[in-house]
Amino acid sequence: MKTWHRYVICVALGLIGGAAYAVQQVRGGLNDGVVANGPWETGKSFGTLDASTLTRAKVALSGLLALPAREAMYFTAQNDSDGRALDGRCTYDVRGGQLDGRWWSVTLYEGEGWLVKNAANRWSIPASAVSPDAQGRWSFTVSPEAQSGSWLPTGSVEAFDLTLRLYHPSADIIKSPETAQLPIIDRKGCA
Amino acid sequence: MMRRWIFPILAGGLIAFGAFQATLLATPYALMQAALMKVGKQGAANQFAFAAMTTADNQTIVRPSPDLSYSTCVFDVSKGPVLVDVQPVPGHYWSVSIFDARTDVAAVRSDRDTKGKAARLALVKAGQTAPAGYEPVRVGYDRGLVLIRILVAPASTFPTIDAIRRKSSCKQV
C-alpha cells in the first residue's frame, strides 16, 4: 500500500467519524447537562449568544426558535419522577402547584418534537385547563385512554416527552431553575 | 509496519476534530435555512404569514405550542431596513422575536416590555439606520425570521385574535 493510500483512508475515516460523532451528540436531545430538576431538564442559554456550539446545535434540532429564559423557560421531561422512560402505553398523574411565572402549559411530543395524532385532538394542557384546589394544587392525567378530568392523550406512542413552558418566569426561577417547584410525573400503570 | 500509519492516523484525528466542530457550527445555519424555506412557502419575503393554530397535521417547526398563534415573516435586509409593526392584543400574552440565520435571538419584545402598546422595530444591518419612531434591531445576517406569538386561551378567542394580528405588518423600506 502506498503512503498516500494510508492518508486517504485515515482522512476519509476522520471526516466520516467526526461528522457522525457530531450528529450523534446533537441528536442526544436537550439534556446537555444544563440544569436538572426532578425529571425535568432545561438550559439557561437557549436562543442566546451565550449558548455553546453544541447547545445551539441541539436547540436548533429539537427546539428551533426557542426564546431566551427572560421571556420563556422550557423544561423537558423524558422520564417519570422515578426515572423510567415515558411510555405512551402507560398512564401518568402529573401533579403540581402554582408555578412562578405568568402562564404555563405542558405539551406532549414524540420523536424530535412533534405533536402526536390522537382522536381527541388535544396536544397540551394549559394552565387554564386545570382546576387548582384551595392550596393551588392541580393535576391532570396523561394516558392512551380517555380519562375523567383533564386528560392529555399519548396516542399510544412507544415513547414521548413532556415540555413545560413557563412564560415570563420569575427572577428566582431564571436564576435557580434547579430549585423551582415543578410538577411530579407519577406512573400509575401500563396497558 | 505500524510506523507507516502513525502520521496518517494523526492526520485523520485532526480531520475528525475539524469535521466534528464544522458539523456543530453548520447545524444551526442548515436547520434555519430549512425553516426559512418551509416558512417562506407560506408567503413572500418581508411579509407576514398568519398561520392557523398548530395541530398534529400542520406542523412546520419542531416543538410547536398548540396554545399559541404564530405569525411569521422571513426578513431580508440586503436591500434596506425591514420595519416590523406589531398590533397589540389586549388581555393576551404576545411577543415578537427576531431570529438570525444562526438561530440566535436578536431581540424579543412582549406586551410586558411595551406595556400593552404596539411594538415598532426596524431591522437593520451595519450601515443602515432606523426611521424615526422605530426601535433599531441590529441583525448580523441579511436573512432571518420574525415570529409573533400570541396566547390563545380559551381557543374560542382565536377569531378575534386572528383579526387583530392581521393588522401587524413586516415590510421593506
Q: Which region among A23-27, A50-54, B151-155 has the lowest average model confidence (pLDDT)? A: A50-54
Which residue in B27, B149, B171 sits closest to A62, CA to CA? B27
The mean pLDDT of chain A is 90
Please indicate whether, in this complex, the C-beta atoms of A114 and B59 are within 8 angstroms of each other.
Answer: yes
Q: How confident is the model at residue A50 (pLDDT cuts 50, 70, 90)?
A: low
Q: Thinking of the domain B49-172, which architecture would CATH place it in?
A: Sandwich (2.60)
Partner residue opposite B105 with nearest CB, options A3, A13, A68:
A68
Tell me how many degrees the CA angle B32-B37-B42 measures, rounded to the nearest 5: 125
Count of alpha carbons within 13 angstroms of residue B158, beta-carbon side: 13
Q: Is B34 helix (H, G, I), strand (E, B) or coil?
A: helix
Going along chain A from its start, the domains and CATH numbers come out as 3-190 (2.60.120.600)
Quick check: B153 pLDDT over 70?
yes
pLDDT tens for B75-118 read 999 999 999 999 999 999 999 999 998 888 899 999 999 999 99
Q: What is the pLDDT of residues A67-90, one digit of tens each?
A: 888 999 999 999 999 999 999 999
CB B105 within 8 A of CB B98: yes
Residue of higher predicted confidence among B44 and A50: B44
- Does A54 contact chain B (CB < 8 Å)? yes
Residues 136-155 of chain B with CB under 8 A from chain A are: 145, 147, 151, 153-154
pLDDT of residue A99: 95
Is the Cβ–Cβ distance between A180 and A173 less than 8 Å? yes
CA distance A20 to chain B (A): 8
**Collapsed DSSP state (helix, strand, coil) of residue A59:** helix
Q: What proportion of chain B, given as a percentage, has pLDDT over 70?
A: 99
Nearest to A48 among B7, B104, B110 (CB): B104
Query: In this complex, do B23 and A18 lie within 8 Å of one another by their Cβ atoms?
Result: yes
What angle in degrees, to the nearest 10, is found between the helix axes of A53-62 and A3-26?
Answer: 60
ipTM over 0.95 threshold: no
Compute the average pLDDT of residues B113-127. Answer: 96
* pLDDT tier for residue A44 given thresholds of 50, 70 and 90: low
Q: Give the range with max mean pLDDT: A18-27, A149-158, B2-11.
A: A149-158
CA distance B21 to A52: 12
Q: What is the pTM of this model?
A: 0.86
Among B153, B152, B150, smallest CA distance to B165 is for: B150
3-class DSSP string for A5-51? HHHHHHHHHHHHHHHHHHHHHHCCCCCCCCEEECCEEECCCCCCCCC
Contacts of B35 in chain A (CB under 8 A): 64-65
What is the reported pLDDT for B86? Answer: 98
Give the domain ranges of chain B.
49-172
- Catalogue the E-assigned strands of chain A: 35-37, 40-42, 72-77, 90-96, 101-110, 114-115, 124-126, 138-143, 151-153, 161-169, 184-190
Instruction: Name the residue among B141, B149, B16 with its Cα closest to residue B71.
Output: B149
Chain A, residues 61-80, CB within 8 A of chain B, namely 61-68, 70-71, 74
* CA neighbor of B75 nearest in space, from B120, B110, B36: B36
pLDDT at residue A112 in the model = 83
